[in-house]
Chain A
């Protein structure tokens, strides 16, 4: 969609000459036989609207629709100065647009300058751009935030007329969108007549995106394009049943190769990078015809990614194994099949991925879903139904997070002294902060100024001060450089570069946590090759070639999605059928067996199974609340079990259930699931938990409390984790109402902790709990025992096990016999403290 090349306009007879495009551009379009889509014409006709949102499917020529008014206004010989700012979530997309805009501009002989500005742009060019901006500047939210942080921002943006936000649906799901809207509010102050346009893929709630984009209190109208024909979508069914657990889908390799063989170009999507790597390797092991197949994901080195992209555009590849890195808009040439490996988790994302196949607007896209395990068969069938029913999912986002607000206050201070009243008014014009009250703003300002109560002792956190005239400014002007280094809201886990030993060629990146788990000699997969870990030097992972050995699995994870609420509900509804003609027999039999020995989970009831296994007592709660919420449920339940003396030892969570094991059996689970008690537990115990600490770390980094970049030298992830964990513990103990703690609790309701989904589950279940006590594992529970990511719980079970071990060691070593009578301890008689 990003490309002009792929905008094949089919609406003959549409009067596009009513539009005042430069004649030479007209000619250029005519020569290629292109005509305008109705929604593109509508965008051009409404070019003067202060805010406008376009919803169009993949391949609908969205980006061109966004740029046509700019080309029309600039004309053949434009005045110097910045006219249009284009913001996209991907650097690569900005580069792609630049390429694609240049062709018509140059060939139609227009004197329009188009440049991009991202993290990859050279310092020299960046400096020049601030003094002498092009007509069209293509950038990312982070680069824009950086631009508005300079004192000369007013000069850089002087005369700016339009902002085009591409793929706004992707930005709307994260803090990057919140940050962008704050930056736009800033631009609106600098350029009062600024008009904004958002370009979005098909979404469940266009109005929510329009509210995000609007310059409040003014509205933002929505233009909706024809959604095009329904996709041709099916699930792969093979003779061999998928395995019980895991996400590899290795069983499907021969069938997938067949599909690749039968199509021109196939995209093979995966949910995580590790899975993509493993699948890619397995594909090549079975690729006897040597079909040209590449791999593309966010951990690979940029050069390598660009090579794959270029080969793809030239049509040299038959397939690309990829992850979310290809979810968004780069033009991929003639893709005629999308294969999704693993359950799609989210119908909206699935639909957007399917749209990657067949970029022609009026042809149906073709897609095949490949369940990676038995449970995912059910999930895939539910997703197919949802796509056919046009039932997209979406979780509403709450008000804009305050950590982003804090970062923006610091950014504003970098640009120059500001009045609190003005900044407050400016920020409340941004969609996510339209409802921000003054007290909330003042708390953020206070935090930026002093670091908050517990941290006042340190000069480092005294960032702002108020001048006698009431204006706020940086206490130390030199701190602006540090603040700029930490701009951004993307919380990638910290990555280390991987290089060949001695040659220095970069292979990609792995997560620091994974690197820490390696010892020299270990092997792992990256870029489809098995490499041997040799050592870590100056934050670079050095590897050598290691042909033919079995790799230690690459655990760098990419994003782990939780199954959406809507999809979970569909699965639960599917369970209630008496039989399942739409499911392959192996899966239908499995569900039938579960129904015989136990029950199938229901939408309005909570199924709890208990049984002994592995010398421990097991409990399974089928909450169907998504991976994150099920994990939180595991944390909260083990906390309650600990209080009740049930000695829990650990748990593991999937999208549909939580499995908890411990020393004692749970005989009456109902009281464990009391929502009020769970919520109270969230405050007390979850407070000390690693997930909360991770949430805290993310927010504290965004708000500038923890710095990832310190004077050019990056802190290692472990250092940052260590200090943020201790900071968190300390604030929890001595200043629990600190702004960052409030933000962490708010974040906990969604995201990683996702307590909202637990609440949703509790309301749906309404106290109707079915406890089935069995003497062995059930069919539905069995896959849980194969799940990765088991989380240990340290509590009384540890004391009991330790005692057991001490007794064993004492008797084994004979210490128990030879130990002389201990001297009487004067403490023994004292009452316990």
Chain B
């Protein structure tokens, strides 16, 4: 597996090709914006009738990352479920998978804007979590050493007349924003006003994909 190491706020972190963030010193794995149950919610609203397999796909990806990193602590950085109460509505097979993943692991659900309340599944449920020099929460607030999600950043690069779009990590001296880990998720371009304002001018991006690679944040 190709990975991309980075130093953020003194912590030695590793960006994984899947969009997860690994902190080996803390045996910690952070994933953000899983949006589990999105298909079911869209269907409930009378939209597209998507077969509910995307949750399984996201959980399979998570299982692989857990196995490879041998992390002991998983933090889901908010918007883990696509809507309030969706956790209880997940198909039984997916709930079982999640329970198996949680076995022997410290599991923390950080609340997000899509899933503010407590969840029925195992694991602690917190508004934010401090680990060592870092603070983990869903939406960036400006604290130093803050790791957050929410924006689903995506980089768009024009290379020799070809447009390449990749989900990416963004980080500068104070904050790190994670890509969405879920299967059916859109994204916000790194050159959008919101992200350009949020990030320092010298921010960097790590494009995820088969070979995660680091570049200056495309603006």
Contact = CB atoms under 8 A, between A and B. Distances in A.
Contacts of B24: 823, 825-826
Nearest to A815: B216
Given A649-B162, A799-B211, A825-B14, A458 B216 contact: no
A813 B216 contact: yes
A460 interface: yes
Contact of B48 (A615, A726, A828): A726
A802 B211 CA distance: 10
Interface string B8-30: 00001010100000101000000
Interface in A801-823: 801-806, 809-810, 813, 815, 819-820, 822-823
Contacts of A798: 162, 164
B160 A801 contact: yes
Contacts of B52: 457
A833 B64 contact: yes
Contacts of B214: 806, 810, 815, 819
Given A809-B215, A832-B1, A804 B162 contact: no
B103 to A, nearest CB: 22
Given A799-B211, A815-B204, A823 B7 contact: yes
B215 A806 contact: yes
B5 A825 contact: yes
A791 B12 CA distance: 42
Interface string B204-219: 1001011101111000
B50 interface: yes
B104 interface: no
A786 interface: no
A723 B54 CA distance: 13
Contacts of B160: 615, 801
A731 interface: yes
A457 B40 CA distance: 11
B164 A801 contact: yes
B132 interface: no
Nearest to B218: A809
B142 interface: no
A809 B219 CA distance: 13
A823 B68 contact: no
By size class, the interface of chain B is: 35 or more
B162 A727 contact: no
B52 to A, nearest CB: 7
A723 B157 contact: no
A457 B51 contact: yes
Contact of B50 (A730, A805, A810): A730
Contacts of B215: 805-806, 809-810, 813, 815
Contacts of B22: 827
Main SS at interface, chain B? mixed
Contacts of A813: 215-216
Interface string B28-39: 000000000001
B95 to A, nearest CB: 15
B102 interface: no
A727 B157 contact: no
Interface residues of A, number: 42
B67 to A, nearest CB: 9
Contacts of A722: 48
A734 B50 CA distance: 13
A23 interface: no
A830 interface: yes
Contacts of A809: 215-216
A827 B47 contact: no
B49 A461 contact: yes
B7 A723 contact: no
A830 B213 contact: no
A565 B82 CA distance: 52
A802 B1 contact: no
Given A734-B53, A809-B215, A828 B3 contact: yes
B159 A804 contact: yes
A710 B46 CA distance: 9
A455 interface: yes
A719 interface: yes
A455 B5 contact: no
A823 B48 contact: no
Interface in B63-111: 64, 68-69, 91
A454 interface: yes
Contacts of A806: 207, 213-215
A827 B69 contact: yes
A803 B211 contact: yes
A470 interface: no
A733 interface: yes
Contacts of B43: 458, 460
B204 A719 contact: no
A723 B47 contact: yes
Interface in A435-471: 454-455, 457-458, 460-461
A651 to B, nearest CB: 13
Interface string A732-743: 011000000000
A720 to B, nearest CB: 8
List the 10 closest pairs (A to B, CB-CB), nearest first. A723-B48, A823-B12, A822-B5, A806-B213, A730-B51, A801-B159, A809-B215, A805-B159, A813-B216, A826-B24
Interface of A: 454-455, 457-458, 460-461, 615, 649, 710, 719, 722-723, 726-727, 730-731, 733-734, 792, 798-799, 801-806, 809-810, 813, 815, 819-820, 822-823, 825-828, 830, 832-833
21 contacts: A455-B49, A457-B51, A457-B52, A460-B49, A461-B49, A719-B47, A723-B47, A731-B51, A792-B162, A802-B159, A802-B211, A806-B207, A806-B213, A806-B214, A809-B215, A825-B3, A826-B14, A827-B3, A827-B14, A827-B16, A827-B68
Given A802-B166, A804-B159, 4 more contacts: A457-B52, A458-B49, A799-B209, A799-B211
